Amino acid sequence: MHEYLFQSGLRGGGPLKRLMALSRREVLFEAPQKKKKKKRNKVQDPQASSSQLSLVLILTSSRPSSSKDTKASQSTNKKTSQPIAQISTSRFYEKPKSYLETQYEKSLQKFVPVDTSEDFLPLELDSISLELIFPNDKTSPKDSNSNDEDIASQLIKIADDPKVDMLDILLHSEKENEFHVMYFIRASDSFLKKAHSLVLESNDTRGTKIYYSLIKLALKALHILIEKYSSYLNPIIELVIYHKLGIIYAKETQSLDKAEHFVNLAISLANTHNLTKLKVINEFLYCEILENINPQGLPSFFSEKQKAYEAGGLDNIADLFSLLRTNHIFLGDGSLAIASINTLSMKTKTNPVVKFLSLLCEASTNIYRGAIASANYSIEKAENLNFMPDSSPQTMALLYLTKLACCVQENDLVAGEEAAAKINEFLSLQRKSSWAGWRDDGIFCIYVPLLDDELDVSIFEVQWLNSDEFVILFYFLRGLLDILDHSKHEQTKKVFSTCLDIINIQLSQLTTAKTETKKFGISFLTDKIVRLNFLRYTVIYYKLWVEFMHESNFGGISSVQFFIDCFDGDQFTKEEMCYYKLLVSKFLYLAATYFQSHGDLNSARFYFLRIRSRSKKTINVEDASISSIQKTLGIGCDALLPKLDADELYLFLTLHLVLIAEHDLQVMAKTNVITPELKSQIVSCHSLLGDLLSELSQAFDKNGCDDTYKNLGKSTLLHSTYKIVLMAQRGQEFANGKSPELKEDLTFIRGKKLDVEDKGFFKTLLSYLLYKYSTSLEESSDMLQEVVHRIVNGDDNSCLVGMLILADDQAKSSLKNTQMLGDVEKIFLMKKRDCIKRLEHACMSVGR
């Protein structure tokens, strides 16, 4: 079995499908039903009581007394001469407790979820300075809103461990309530953080139970504040609680209606108290929720917010909403989206950070659509922005990868090597810094001021790749770049193999229940597994292609056929089809070229026509929603694919079909008896050939009309293949010197031959065409010598040109008295049996 089979056994009940299901599981948070008290024996299980006490302590400020505390107590009691001794937090809760303390703890136990006591231990809770959270009354009214919003921003993302005077708090009831408010907020954050750290354990049932129990506790702590402490919440704290509830419900559950409810409460509160920064943060969160529950309402929401902030003079925020709006429009109208993002990137007063993101979004979209000239222009403008030295490492990584991807798409080997060298240097710096600033969940921060002249900035989070995915993607693009250099096919295979090894290791780690600590939620885990699997299959596709082209190694065809069988047999789930449908046409193309190379033209024609029918399928509402899912995962999407006559894969398969149709017509024309059935086949074949040539002509005649089509003229391989096919079709006219296009075509071939450094068979074929049709005897003789040299020293595909040389009497006459002719004959004899077998198979395929 081939080394990279798709492992169907893992899919039926495997980790990937289970994680997908878990990430979509609806988590309900209902209050536990009260149970009747049962009589218990006097002797209780000390373990059980300890476990239950631990749960109570998670949501209270008490902790059990220890032997050390007892000794400290005895030591303190001896010093009765002191007026008031400092009371430690442990001594304050020493037994026996007062009646009020006991009742207080009993009431708090009502909020602790049942049946989860054995699943987790007490957590170490961070704390935050009360003076920071509850500023004193001395703050001037002028600065109160700004200070409050800064405090709230820290509350949303708390990281410090300040000192708290517990005695001062506990001796004042007002401060004690404030302490409880902060304690529950901190408890919620800790539960969520703990759940994310145990995310890999959710690969089994027990780990999933623990994960969602912690999520429930995080929500319960915040609900306690709303239900029991609402009178002690100032607007800032209340808004932060709503924001946190919205995030947890949106990202950890399927209760999107609750997420929408709490985010709307936060936005309403921000409007009431003129808290612009917090309002913007919650409006962005609302956009994420709205994209899942009502995507049709997003465009109007974006437009409304963009106009409102422009009217208020907050152009930077308006530009961010414009960028989000454009990102959404891509799913419906790519041309309109391109125009919209181009307008944004051309604005002179746009904040550099927003402009940078706009330019790279525009560049990556144009690369995906094939508009390389526009992509290069956007990348150059992004490189010239002066904010880069102070930016996060992810912004540099994003720029470098986009540049490399553009070079790969443009077949620019020289510029690609320079871009790869920059990334290698960048990787060395990041490794030396231990990847400082890179998070497990791929999030990095951008800083955008509300006003251009405002020093105080708002912090926004952008989710991209983490360090592992960045390295994998670099290896993948490096391999694609090396494909352009025929002499590096061995190195290309090694790069792809290394890339596959890293992906397989990552997938193994992410789909195995482990205690390894991570810092992301289960939804991100699922998305990452999907991305890595998608990239894995993409790497397999290109690795097989390299083996097909350079070694005639078709051992991996079983992997291709297995993937197609899974697709045809509906063995992919609906979720998997959303992701892998982008790869189906590629694998069908590999299968078609395999059958064509073996002379089975009937099977090749069948697969090529399947791709054509899939490509011409109209987009419906369901496809738009699938595109949204694909785009969210960062794997491209159907809506952004180039049009048919600008899609290289579609044009290449059209060229294949032209060759097959020409061959079929030649074979059928030699048939002695023309039956009505055969006549019908000839008419159908002529009709198909005419349609194919018309499509190709339209596509290549559009060069210069639209930037999407300009790249077709720059693609040496595609454009040269098109010219070769046309020259082969008009071969008899060229031989008689009657074709007016001969001079133009020869000029084109000479230019492309100079552009190609060494493409193996491709360069051999160009040289053969110049020998065959050149009007200069000197050039013709030189090209014949070069062709023979490349046949003798070239790859298997170049050897096939030897059959054309041996069938050419003029060539044989020119080489008659040289050793070269003998070498060609010797090599061809080695390949003759395989060639004849393929030709016979091809003739048998006609008309079937």
Helix (H) or strand (E) run with residue 738 in it: none
Q: What is the mean pLDDT of residues 410-419?
A: 89
Tokens of 463: 């989710």
Residues paired with 448 in a beta bridge: 458
User: So what's the pLDDT on residue 817?
Assistant: 67
Q: What is the mean pLDDT of residues 212-238?
A: 94
User: So what's the pLDDT on residue 794?
Assistant: 66
Q: Are 345 and 378 in contact (CB under 8 A)?
A: yes
How long is the chain?
848
Cis check: omega of the bond before 299, within 30 degrees of 0: no
With 60 as the cut, is the pLDDT of residue 820 above it?
yes
User: So what's the pLDDT on residue 249?
Assistant: 96
- Any domain includes 196: no
- Whether residues 594 and 726 share a domain: the answer is no
- Whether residues 719 and 613 share a domain: the answer is no
Domain that holds residue 840: 715-848
User: So what's the pLDDT on residue 59?
Assistant: 41
The secondary structure of 325-393, three-state, reads: HHHHHCCCCHHHHHHHHHHHHHCCCCCHHHHHHHHHHHHHHHHHHCCHHHHHHHHHHHHCCCCHHHCCH
Going by C-beta distance under 8 Å and a sequence separation of 6 or more, which residues neighbour residue 431? Answer: none
User: So what's the pLDDT on residue 485?
Assistant: 77
Sign (positive or negative) of CA dihedral 640, 645, 646, 650 = positive
User: So what's the pLDDT on residue 513?
Assistant: 84
User: So what's the pLDDT on residue 622?
Assistant: 66
The rounded radius of gyration (Å) of the Cα atoms in the chain is 34
Going by C-beta distance under 8 Å and a sequence separation of 6 or more, which residues neighbour residue 292? Answer: 256
- Whether residues 490 and 595 share a domain: the answer is yes
How far is the C-alpha of 585 from the C-alpha of 589, rounded, in Å? 6
Identify the weakest region by mean pLDDT among 281-295, 351-365, 447-461: 447-461
Domain count, the chain: 2
| Most confident region among 27-36, 553-562, 593-602 by mean pLDDT | 593-602
User: So what's the pLDDT on residue 188?
Assistant: 95
Return the closest-CA partner of residue 117 out of 28, 53, 26, 29.
53
User: So what's the pLDDT on residue 380?
Assistant: 93
Q: What amino acid is encoded at 1 in this protein?
A: M
| Most confident region among 139-148, 284-293, 798-807 by mean pLDDT | 284-293
- Any domain includes 595: yes
What is the band of 311 on the pLDDT scale with cuts at 50, 70, 90? very high
In terms of pLDDT, which residue wins out, 246 or 839?
A: 246
How far is the C-alpha of 437 from the C-alpha of 459, rounded, in Å? 15
Residues paired with 703 in a beta bridge: 706
199 DSSP assignment:
G
- Any domain includes 184: no
pLDDT in tens, 440-486: 989 998 888 877 666 677 888 888 889 999 999 999 999 999 887 77
Last residue of a domain, one of 612, 630, 648: 630
- Any domain includes 76: no
Identify the weakest region by mean pLDDT among 119-128, 268-277, 583-592, 777-786: 119-128
Tokens of 831: 């390949």
What is the band of 758 on the pLDDT scale with cuts at 50, 70, 90? low
Going by C-beta distance under 8 Å and a sequence separation of 6 or more, which residues neighbour residue 710? Answer: 371, 372, 373, 703, 704
With 60 as the cut, is the pLDDT of residue 63 above it?
no
Residue-averaged pLDDT of the chain: 76
Task: Give start and end residues of each alpha helix (H) in 24-136.
Answer: 46-58, 67-77, 89-92, 99-109, 130-133
How far is the C-alpha of 229 from the C-alpha of 252, rounded, in Å? 25
How far is the C-alpha of 589 from the C-alpha of 650, rounded, in Å? 9
159 CB-side CA count, 13 A? 3
pLDDT in tens, 373-384: 889 999 999 988
How far is the C-alpha of 478 from the C-alpha of 491, rounded, in Å? 10
How far is the C-alpha of 302 from the C-alpha of 425, rounded, in Å? 40
In terms of pLDDT, which residue wins out, 99 or 665?
A: 665
With 80 as the cut, is the pLDDT of residue 345 above it?
yes
Helix (H) or strand (E) run with residue 757 in it: none
Q: Are 509 and 516 in contact (CB under 8 A)?
A: yes
pLDDT in tens, 135-164: 343 343 334 455 555 545 545 544 334 444
User: So what's the pLDDT on residue 542?
Assistant: 92
Packing angle, helices 393-410 and 467-483, rounded to 10:
20
How far is the C-alpha of 687 from the C-alpha of 708, rounded, in Å? 28
What is the band of 274 on the pLDDT scale with cuts at 50, 70, 90? very high
In terms of pLDDT, which residue wins out, 168 or 486?
A: 486
- Any domain includes 761: yes
Tokens of 28: 């309900």
How far is the C-alpha of 216 from the C-alpha of 289, rounded, in Å? 20
With 50 as the cut, is the pLDDT of residue 509 above it?
yes
- Whether residues 609 and 503 share a domain: the answer is yes
In terms of pLDDT, which residue wins out, 89 or 733?
A: 733
- Any domain includes 542: yes
How far is the C-alpha of 355 from the C-alpha of 351, rounded, in Å? 6
With 60 as the cut, is the pLDDT of residue 134 above it?
no
pTM: 0.75
The secondary structure of 580-642, three-state, reads: HHHHHHHHHHHHHHHHHHCCCHHHHHHHHHHHHHHHCCCCCHHHHHHHHHHHHHCCCCHHHCC
Q: Are 472 and 506 in contact (CB under 8 A)?
A: yes
User: So what's the pLDDT on residue 147?
Assistant: 54
User: So what's the pLDDT on residue 132?
Assistant: 32
Q: What percent of the chain has pLDDT over 70?
A: 70
The three-class DSSP label of residue 478 is helix
User: So what's the pLDDT on residue 486?
Assistant: 72
In terms of pLDDT, which residue wins out, 728 or 266?
A: 266
Q: What percent of the chain has pLDDT over 90?
A: 31
Q: What amino acid is encoded at 412 in this protein?
A: D
User: So what's the pLDDT on residue 549?
Assistant: 78
Sign (positive or negative) of CA dihedral 792, 795, 798, 802 = positive
The three-class DSSP label of residue 250 is helix
How far is the C-alpha of 363 from the C-alpha of 403, rounded, in Å? 9
Q: Are 383 and 399 in contact (CB under 8 A)?
A: yes
Return the closest-CA partner of residue 199 out of 510, 417, 427, 407.
510
User: So what's the pLDDT on residue 319?
Assistant: 92
User: So what's the pLDDT on residue 68?
Assistant: 41
Q: What is the mean pLDDT of residues 522-530?
A: 90
Last residue of a domain, one of 594, 613, 630: 630
- Any domain includes 549: yes
Q: What share of the chain is helix, strand, coil (3-state, %, to 5)?
A: 70, 0, 25
pLDDT in tens, 169-224: 445 556 778 888 999 999 999 999 999 999 999 898 999 999 999 999 999 999 99
How far is the C-alpha of 427 from the C-alpha of 119, rounded, in Å? 41
The three-class DSSP label of residue 677 is helix
| Most confident region among 22-26, 387-391, 750-754 by mean pLDDT | 750-754
pLDDT in tens, 608-650: 999 998 887 665 656 777 877 888 788 888 777 777 667 888 9
Q: What amino acid is encoded at 303 in this protein?
A: S
- Whether residues 625 and 487 share a domain: the answer is yes
Q: Are 556 and 496 in contact (CB under 8 A)?
A: no
What is the band of 402 on the pLDDT scale with cuts at 50, 70, 90? very high
Last residue of a domain, one of 585, 608, 630: 630
Q: Are 770 and 783 in contact (CB under 8 A)?
A: yes
Q: Are 236 and 144 in contact (CB under 8 A)?
A: no
Q: What is the mean pLDDT of residues 770-796?
A: 81
With 50 as the cut, is the pLDDT of residue 571 above it?
yes
The three-class DSSP label of residue 706 is strand
Q: Are 779 and 797 in contact (CB under 8 A)?
A: no
445 phi, psi to nearest 5 deg = -105, 145
- Any domain includes 759: yes
12 CB-side CA count, 13 A? 2
How far is the C-alpha of 803 from the C-alpha of 249, rounded, in Å? 68
CA–centroid distance for 442 within its chain: 11
Distance in Å from the first CA to the final CA of the chain: 31
- Whether residues 504 and 610 share a domain: the answer is yes
What is the band of 834 on the pLDDT scale with cuts at 50, 70, 90? low
- Whether residues 626 and 739 share a domain: the answer is no
- Whether residues 742 and 613 share a domain: the answer is no
With 70 as the cut, is the pLDDT of residue 725 above it?
yes
What is the band of 128 on the pLDDT scale with cuts at 50, 70, 90? very low
**CA geometry: angle 208, 212, 216, nearest 5 deg:** 165
Q: What is the mean pLDDT of residues 430-447?
A: 92
Identify the weakest region by mean pLDDT among 125-129, 509-513, 587-591, 604-608: 125-129
Q: Are 464 and 401 in contact (CB under 8 A)?
A: no
**CA geometry: angle 447, 453, 459, nearest 5 deg:** 15
